[in-house]
Structure 1
Amino acid sequence: MIDPQIQKVRLQDLMASLQPLPTPNQTPRNHRQAANSSWPPSQTTDPRKVCVEGERNNHIARLAGKWLHVGNTVEDVITLALAANDNFDPPLDESEVIATCQSIARTHGRNNPIGPSLDDTDPEPLFVFKDFKASRYLFTDPPPRRWLFADVIPCGKVILLVAPGGTGKSMFSIQLGASIATGLPFADVWEVGETGGVLLLLGEDDDEELHRRTFNICNQLAPRQETDAIPRLGENLIIKSMVGEDNLLTTADSQSKEVRQTPLVNRLILAAKQIPNLKLIVIDPASRFRGGDENASQDVTRFVEAVERVAQATGAAVLIIHHANKGSMSSSEPSQSASRGSSALTDGVRLQMNLATLDNNGAKKLGIPEEQRKSHLILSITKTNYSAPQQDIILRRSEGGYLTNAKLTPSKTPTTDAVDASIIQLVQSEAVAGKRYSKTGFANTFGGLNKKLKVGNNKVRDRISVLISSTRLVEENGKLALPKL
């Protein structure tokens, strides 16, 4: 701590420095003089500098940072800043000066936790350690995990769906909500764990489009003869178009550029608490609800914290819908890095799902014709903290974009060892049947993604060459055979 007497002397010195410089032939200050860098002769943090509109706030911020750095209290910094403000042409409103100083003080306090700050003038311990001993976990059974969708999506957590534009993200979220609202499986794939209220906050579709999509879902459910599914859907599913509204849950401070939560967080919590038995909140897309720089990890983390606060306050799981980056669109393998912007978003959530249109290679493996490829999507869980790894799911987009289970399983490329073993086994079994093949004939007969070996012809020929060089296969009169014992 700084000695109060030293601080008082320092404050007096600083106050004295605010007096105008004695300059010969000084003329009345005006905008032209202030704009002239040679008048007054000062540095950028000189408290006597005459500032005009466009530079006043930044100058106050720099002064406040400098005075806090040398140990002045927030109250003293405000006093000094108000005195410096008297030199401005025209002066700022006093409330604006005070707000700027307080904002800089908060940032200073976070960056220098042992120094003076606005929020920590008389610090207390962060917590009492006795309340957090591990012993509280040792003698009682932990509560059972609750599932929104059985063994896939947990209740009450923040989760993420990453997908390129045009892949049906909004229909996915509405159908997911419809499943929770009705208790019917999602796309005949995931069984509902807990049924209840759902709040959809959709920032890309207006009310007319939401009407069409919801009506389409009802038409798809009707043939199931679930007599009470439609009433449950109408009662439990709350759909709000957020198009054209200020939806920011976080925003960057105009002075410090630090990202903070907005009052909308509390308003959202209050609105959500009106919904009985709320299970799920969907925020679609993240870009409409997040302020700051999406490539800055700190800014993105503040957004995740805001969403976590909503989840904790309401007890609902919160699904964030987010756009994929361009690099992921050219990749055939779904991964956590598909999320656009900072990886802090993926790091902050507890589960990430990726949704993408099947690429050419994936469609070939599944035997899907090219003209039908774009109507098929692959749903992958690329990060999960609570369940075993999940198999990828192929979904088909039917009328109006409604998603159904295509009941196709992506085939995995066999390992090299598995290919080698299959080649040897086939050479042996075909020889027993009286069939022998040349290297090329064998590759043409059994190679190919849709044939027995599930790998291309070139790969088969390469592996045969390796097997021959290692004497696991031999060529007899140009035909493949097993070596004689």
Structure 2
Amino acid sequence: MAENWDDRPDVVRSVLEWRAEQERRLPARPTPGHSRSNGNGNDHAPLLPLTDVATFASQPEPEREFLDGAQLFPIRNVVLLMGDGGTGKSLLALQLAIACTTASPWLGIEVASGPVLYLSAEEEEDEMHRRVKAICRAEDIEVERIFGLSLIPMAGQDAVLAFEGKPNRLEVTALYRSLEVTLQALSPMVLMLDNLADVFAGNENNRALAKHFVGVLRHLAIKYDCTIILLAHPSLSGLASGSGMSGSTAWSNSVRARLHLHRPDGADDDDSDARILEVKKANYGPTGQRYHLRWVQGRFVRKEATNPWDRISTSDPDRVRDLFRSTQFRANELSDNWGGYAVADLLGLDIGRGIPAKQRTAEQNRLRNDVRTYLAGWVRNKAIYVIGGLGPDRKPTQFYSANPEEETG
């Protein structure tokens, strides 16, 4: 049982007095970047920038952001999309790029809308042109509707962004610097690099180099507020084991998410168009999901793809608005009072409430993704709103609401 410190004022007073004494003994904290002599030969070394954790108490908890409703692509991070040659990972990535720049779903998954920059060292512009047209025909998208998708075709050219200079250390190239200037100018939401073997001139089995290169890309992702999707081929051992790994384990350990596109085990010639997109790693979301795909008319589609909106009746948005009008539900999925749970209860869906992400079933994860899709769609269409307010603890948070300007708390 936790100690009730209100009943022990002597202990509290002693702790506070001790802390005050320690603070008096500490030297004044210099400004970050300020150097001072310490007698250890580091007279010109600046103090590292520090964050005082106590300041978090007065700040709202930042919500984790994703590019998509299935939480596959965390924003400001590097994601590996692995796949053997000829499986279609470049096509799948291009489908995602078109979805983001046309406000369309990707494999039935809602994605954020924004500009995309796609650097391809594998395909010429003509091939990219053909693929874009094929995807748009199959998805009934007008090409002129694509807003903000910029291609950098570099097939047959030197596309290296970093190479090993000194042992175990990378040096960036002039192309990397030009890429950074381009990111600054275009502010894309997504940067796609196709693929690792072309943009990284180093030993993929070298742990230090692999970690350094991912760190170089993460710097860009954070600085320019984007998701970087790095396409890569698995090694022979990665293919044999089904892990989809390539080179050193540092590649998988350093990125925040890793997806593997592969053919189904035992697939025969009659099933040559079938693929599985498997979530092999997700630091911030559920893992283990398997999306069964099929190549149809120049693009991939979900095999089991029943449209999640098919189960929504015309009266359901009104029922949800009535619910959000009468009761406060949080917009943060990590909250026990998440609005998605209320929607799931209303629709009779089991999305694994109270069950840790790694213990939920594939069906629960699929239905949970459907609920995310509904909420995102209703917010986008202004059927419901996300508003700011104060929670029961008087801390700033966000809630779902039926009204756009309602204040809570």
Query: Do both share a fold (TM > 0.5)?
Result: yes
Structure 2 residue runs without a partner (length 5+): 1-38, 307-409
Matched, 1:303 2:195: no
Q: Distance in 1 between matches of 2:74 and 2:209?
A: 26
Structure 1 residue 345 and structure 2 residue 251: aligned? Answer: yes
TM-score of the superposed pair, with normalisation by structure 2: 0.61
Structure 1: distance between partners of 2:271 and 2:78 = 32
Q: Report what 1:323 is aligned to.
A: 233
- For residue 406 of structure 1, what is the aligned residue in structure 2? 303
Is residue 2:98 matched to residue 1:178?
Answer: yes
Residues 369-380 of structure 1: pairs in structure 2 closer than 5 A: 370-380=268-278
The Cα RMSD (Å) is 2.3
Instruction: Check the 8 A contact 2:239/2:245 in 1, yes or no.
Output: no
Given that 1:260 and 1:302 are in contact with CA atoms closer than 8 Å, whether structure 2 keeps it comes out as no
The residue that corresponds to 2:82 in the other structure is: 162
SS in 2 for 1:321: strand
Relative to its length, the structure with more helix (as a share) is: 1
Q: What is the CA distance between 1:395 and its match in structure 2?
A: 0.4
One-letter code of the match for 1:127? L
> How far is 1:211 from its partner?
1.1
Scaled by the length of structure 1, the TM-score of the pair is 0.52
Asked which structure has the greater CA Rg, the reply is 1
**1:359 maps to what in 2?**
265
Structure 1 segment 221-260 matched on structure 2, within 5 A: 221-222=139-140, 230-233=143-146, 235-253=147-165, 258-260=169-171
- Are residues 1:391 and 2:303 paired? no
Cα deviation, residue 377, structure 1:
0.5
Q: Any conservation in 1 of the 2:196–2:230 contact (CA below 8 Å)? A: yes
The residue number in structure 2 matching 1:218 is 136
Higher normalized contact order (CA 8 Å, seq sep 6+, divided by chain length): 2
CA–CA separation in structure 1 for the residues paired with 2:83 and 2:92: 11
User: 1-side partners of 2:61 and 2:252: how far apart?
Assistant: 27
Contact 2:163 2:202 in 1 (8 A): yes
Distance 1:349 1:256 in 2: 23
Per the alignment, in what secondary structure is the counterpart of residue 154 of structure 1?
A: coil
Distance (Å, rounded) in 2 between the aligned partners of 1:391 and 1:262: 37
Distance 2:159 2:202 in 1: 13
1:405-484 → structure 2 map (5 Å cutoff): 405-407=302-304
Q: For 2:193, what is the secondary structure of its paired residue?
A: strand
Residues 96-175 of structure 1: matches in 2 within 5 Å? 122-128=43-49, 131-152=50-71, 153-175=73-95
SS of the residue aligned with 2:200? coil
Aligned residues: 267
State the percentage of identical aligned residues. 26
- Specify every segment of 5 or more residues in structure 1 that has no aligned partner in the other structure, as ranges: 1-113, 364-369, 410-485
Q: Per the alignment, do residues 142 and 257 of structure 1 end up closer, same or farther by CA in structure 2, a change over 3 Å counting?
A: closer
Divergent runs of 4+, >4 A: none
Counterpart Cα distance in 1 of 2:304 and 2:215: 38
Whether the aligned pair in 1 keeps the contact of 2:238 and 2:246 (CA below 8 Å) is no
